Amino acid sequence: MNSVLKYLLFGIIVSIITLFASQNYFKQQSLTFEDCVISNIKNLNNTSVIDEIKSMCKKKFNIQDEVLNNENVKKKMNELFDLFEDMKKRMDIK
Dist. CA 25–CA 66, nearest whole Å: 32
Q: What is the pLDDT of residues 50-92, one digit of tens each?
A: 888 888 888 888 887 766 567 777 888 899 999 989 988 888 8
Task: Please report, for residues 28, 64, 89, the alpha-carbon distance to residue 23 in angstroms, rounded to integers and kept in the order given.
Answer: 9, 30, 52
pLDDT digits (tens, 9 = 90+) for 26-58: 555 667 878 888 888 887 888 888 888 888 888
Helix (H), strand (E), coil (C) string for 5-67: HHHHHHHHHHHHHHHHHHHHHHHHCCCCHHHHHHHHCCCCCCHHHHHHHHHHHHHHCCCCCCC
Q: State residue 94's pLDDT score.
A: 66
